Copies of this chain bind each other. A is one copy, B any other.
Amino acid sequence: MSAPARRGRRPGSPDTRAAILVEARALFSAQGYAGTSVRAVAAAASVDAALVHHYFGTKDELFLAALEMPVDPRQLVAPVVEGGPEGAAERFLAIFLAAWDDPELRPALLAVARGVMDPAGSKLLTEGFLPVVIQPIGVALGLDRPEHRMTLVASQVAGIILLRYVLAVEPLASMPQDQLVATYAPTLQRYLTGRLP
């Protein structure tokens, strides 16, 4: 392990940290999560891999930092997993809506959503956010066919994000949270635990 200090930069230097993030975002966008190593990010930013770990922790954490999520989605959804499969859809929707409807979080979440819908950033979603954050929820809940089921969940949640938050289509944009939960929970619970073809 080389000491970060040998490069003459303070470990906490905002410039170095920002430079690593820029390279991480570029590599994750171009090559997906699996195709990007911490070592490659470090090389692109001309720093030691140990420095990347020092700033960001694991590769998962580097990925989430590169996405510029304003909250750690894995912490956020922990109560969904802890409660088990029953009622998981309702708990997920309540947490999801509370985050998106928080005026301090929404601008950053919107920026993430617009970024991953852009063709240049789409691998951040398809080969990053979905396998790193979404599909592990299905695995942790002990679902059969977790990837299949969580992709169905994602297909409804993506539509809610697009219509309610990105495009602000009424009556979805103004619908109270409890009405949204009651509307969408049966759909998501069937995708999680129902009989599917």
Chain A residues with a Cβ under 8 A of chain B: 114, 117, 119, 122, 125-126, 130, 147-148, 151-152, 154-160, 162-164, 166-172, 178-179, 182-183, 186-187, 190, 196-197
A122 contact set on B, CB distance < 8 A: 166-167
A197 touching B179 by the CB < 8 A rule?
Answer: yes
A154 lies within 8 A of B183 (CB): no
Report yes or no: B152 in contact with A155, Cβ–Cβ below 8 A: no
Asked if residues A197 and B183 are in contact (CB atoms below 8 Å), the reply is yes
CB distance from A174 to the nearest CB of B (A): 11
What's the number of copies of this chain in the assembled complex? 2
Is B182 in contact with A154, judged by CB distance below 8 angstroms?
no
CB of A117 within 8 A of CB of B162, answer yes
CA distance A187 to B171 in the complex (A): 18
Minimal Cβ-Cβ distance residue in B for A169: B126
Q: Which 4 A-B pairs have the closest CB atoms?
A: A159-B159, A182-B197, A155-B159, A158-B159
CB distance from A120 to the nearest CB of B (A): 12
Excluding A125-B167, A152-B183, A155-B162, 16 further A-B contacts by CB distance (< 8 Å) are: A117-B117, A117-B162, A125-B169, A126-B169, A147-B170, A148-B171, A154-B163, A154-B169, A155-B160, A155-B163, A156-B187, A158-B158, A158-B159, A159-B159, A182-B197, A183-B197
10 A-B pairs with CB atoms under 8 Å apart are A114-B119, A117-B162, A126-B169, A151-B163, A151-B170, A152-B172, A155-B172, A159-B160, A159-B162, A182-B197
Chain B nearest CB: distance from A30 CB in Å?
Answer: 16
A171/B159 in contact, CB under 8 A: no
With A148-B171, A186-B190, A187-B187 given, is the CB distance from A117 to B166 under 8 Å? Answer: yes
Question: Quick one: which of A125, A152, A179 has the most chain B CB within 10 A?
Answer: A152
